[in-house]
Amino acid sequence: MTDETPDGPDEAAAGSAMPADPFPETADAVRADLDADPALASAVLEVEKHVAEQGWDQPARLFALVDTAALVAQEPALAAAMGLDQPSEDGSFTPVEQDQLDPATAIEEVLPGIVWPDAVAGCAAVVERVVLPPDADAEIPEDPDEAAAFAATHPDRQEMRLVAGTTRSGSTYCAMRFRSHDEDHLVVGGTDLVPSLLELLAATLVED
C-alpha cells in the first residue's frame, strides 16, 4: 500500500459514495468466489484492511491499481522503498491511493470525469453506507437531508464499508465489512456485490 503514485487520473474530483444496489444483510462468513481474479481479490482485500485499520466514518477513497512487476521495472527506487521485488510480486497489483476526495460530492458524480493513464491496470473505490431493512422503505422521507437523518437514527440500520475494484481486463471483486461484525474474518467478498459502482469504475478504464 502506498500513497505515492507515478500517474494519477487525468481528472480527479471529490466523492463520497452511496451505491444503490441491494446488499446482503448479514456477514456471518467470508464468501469465496471461484470466478474471482486472485490478484484483484488480493488487492481489494489489502485496501479493505488498510482502510479498516483507520476506523469508521471516513469519506470515500479512490485507489489506482498498478501492475507490481511493471512498477518494479519502471520505478525501482519507489518499489525498493516499498519493499517490493519483481520475482515475488509478479502477477500482483499494488494499490496507490489518490488525493483525498471531497466528501461534499458523491463519488457517482466524480467517476464519470476520471480517465486513468495507461500505467494504471485497474482501480478501486471505498465507500461507507447505511442500509435499512426493506420494511422501512415506505417511511423514508423524500427530502435527501431528511432521508439521511432518518437512516442515521433508524434502530435497525446496518452500517457497512464497501471496497469495489475492477481491472482493464474486466475482472471485478468487492469486499464488504459490516460495522456490527467488525472482524477481518467476517468480511464478505464477491465479484458482483455492487454492480452500479463497478460499472462506473470500469468506465474510467475505457479508452475514448
Taking the model in full, what pTM does it have? Answer: 0.76
Any domain includes 15:
no
Amino acid at 45: L
The pLDDT of residue 6: 42
For residue 20 the three cell numbers come to 444503490
Any domain includes 19:
no
Amino acid at 141: P
**Can you tell me the distance from the alpha carbon of 29 to that of 94, in angstroms, rounded to the nearest whole number?**
26
Residue among 159, 113, 154, 162 at smallest CA distance from 137: 154
Grid coordinates 500482483 are at which residue?
A: 92
| Sequential pLDDT tens for the chain (208 residues) | 655 444 455 433 333 222 333 333 323 333 446 578 999 999 999 999 999 999 999 999 999 999 988 888 887 777 777 777 654 555 799 999 998 888 889 899 999 999 999 999 999 999 998 876 676 676 777 777 766 676 676 666 788 999 999 999 999 999 999 998 999 999 999 999 999 999 999 999 997 6
Any domain includes 31:
no
Any domain includes 125:
yes
Count of structural domains within the chain: 1
Burial 191-204 (b: 16+ CB within 10 A, else e): bebbeebbebbbeb
The pLDDT of residue 22: 33
The pLDDT of residue 158: 80
| Residues in the chain, overall count | 208
Grid coordinates 476520471 are at which residue?
A: 114
Any domain includes 104:
yes
The pLDDT of residue 208: 65
Domain that holds residue 136: 38-203
Any domain includes 151:
yes
Any domain includes 155:
yes
Any domain includes 141:
yes
The pLDDT of residue 86: 56
